[in-house]
């Protein structure tokens, strides 16, 4: 079909044309839902590389229901001063998802992040974001506060995604207390996706010895019951992920004791999977 003669596909709009659609003043007067839809389309279609911060801040601060779209476009464009002003003015936790990196030389921003990290009003994932930025900027001074935060929340966080994120950071901490928490989570966390997240990050960090004793417990069927929160998972996906992790572990340079544990755990998990298939 000769669509080219109809000008299809259409050329993308220029950035200034998208901005022209953002008629905030008119919308505040009319509250026209069609105009709101047009502005939402414009924000969704703008190329992130073309964004001019002032244009999008104007939309965000208008507070007309386009905050989420505006926030996603502001990522990578905010200064520390912008970020502090937005959080203090609007108390909007979504701003934490686009906070710029910190540097130890920017004392006001470091102080701001410290305040947010220790503010009980924020949920765990928001406080963790502030702590991660502090830790990245000044590990020497923020390792202990961040570690204490992780340990204080990892067993009490009700949201499984929060726990998953906390486990990820503990895997990277490397100290014995953190490693113990990770091993216990593999055996005791009630959500399968949390356990799988730990496996993924253990592999990413090149860790085998840290987790192998916990995996042996799992292979022997001595771990606590757990369930998935995702309805579309395949049967025995957790076991497949364990076998995949152990297969990767075999490719690592291991001592004899660890290698033996890896082989034995692999055999037991595969045996259980085969038994399940026969029962089905």
Reported as a single tens digit per residue, the pLDDT across 62-113 is 999 999 999 999 999 999 999 999 999 999 999 999 999 999 899 999 999 9
pLDDT bin (cut points 50, 70, 90) of residue 207 is very high
Give me the residues paired with residue 227 across strands. 191
What is the DSSP-derived secondary structure letter of residue 252? S
Q: State yes or no: pLDDT of 10 exceeds 80.
A: no
The answer to whether the beta carbons of residues 154 and 181 sit under 8 Å apart is yes
Which is higher by pLDDT, 235 or 119?
119
Least confident of 5-19, 38-52, 56-70, 143-157: 5-19
Q: Is the dihedral of CA 89, 92, 93, 99 positive or negative?
A: negative
214-219 mean pLDDT: 98
CB 186 within 8 A of CB 211: yes
Environment class of 74 (CB within 10 Å of its CB; exposed 0-12, middle 13-18, buried 19+): buried
Question: Comparing C-alpha atoms, which of 132, 123, 122, 197 is closest to residue 158?
Answer: 123
Give the separation between CA 51 and CA 63, rounded to whole angstroms: 19
Q: For position 277, what pLDDT does the model report? A: 79
Q: What local confidence, expressed as pLDDT, does residue 1 receive?
A: 47
> What separation in angstroms does the CA of 34 have from each of 21, 27, 219?
12, 10, 58
**pLDDT attached to residue 8:** 65
What pTM does this model have? 0.89
pLDDT band at residue 210 using 50, 70 and 90 as cut-offs: very high
Mean pLDDT of 243-253: 97
Residues 91, 95, 97, 103: is their CA dihedral positive or negative? negative
């Amino acid at each position: 079909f000769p669509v080219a003669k109809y000008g299809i596909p259409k050329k993308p709009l220029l950035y200034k044309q998208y901005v022209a659609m953002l008629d905030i003043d008119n919308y505040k007067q009319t509250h026209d839902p069609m105009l709101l839809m047009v502005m939402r389309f414009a924000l969704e279609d703008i190329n992130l590389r073309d964004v001019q911060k002032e244009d999008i801040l104007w939309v965000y601060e208008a507070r007309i229901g386009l905050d989420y779209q505006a926030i996603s476009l502001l990522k990578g464009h905010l200064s520390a001063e912008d970020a502090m002003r937005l959080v203090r003015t609007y108390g909007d936790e979504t701003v934490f998802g686009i906070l710029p990196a910190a540097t130890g030389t920017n004392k006001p921003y470091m102080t701001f992040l410290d305040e947010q990290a220790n503010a009980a009003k924020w949920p765990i994932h928001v406080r963790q974001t502030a702590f991660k930025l502090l830790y990245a900027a000044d590990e020497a001074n923020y390792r202990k506060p961040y570690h204490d935060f992780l340990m204080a929340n990892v067993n009490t966080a009700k949201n499984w995604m929060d726990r998953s994120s906390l486990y990820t950071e503990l895997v990277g901490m490397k100290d014995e207390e953190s490693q113990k928490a990770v091993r216990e989570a593999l055996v005791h966390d009630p959500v399968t996706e949390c356990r799988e997240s730990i496996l993924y990050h253990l592999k990413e960090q090149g860790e085998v010895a840290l987790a192998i004793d916990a995996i042996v417990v799992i292979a022997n069927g001595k771990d606590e019951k757990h369930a998935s929160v995702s309805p579309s998972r395949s049967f025995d996906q957790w076991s497949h992920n364990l076998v995949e992790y152990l297969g990767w572990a075999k490719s690592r340079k291991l001592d004899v004791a660890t290698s033996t544990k890896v082989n034995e755990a692999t055999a037991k998990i595969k045996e259980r999977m085969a038994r399940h298939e026969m029962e089905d």
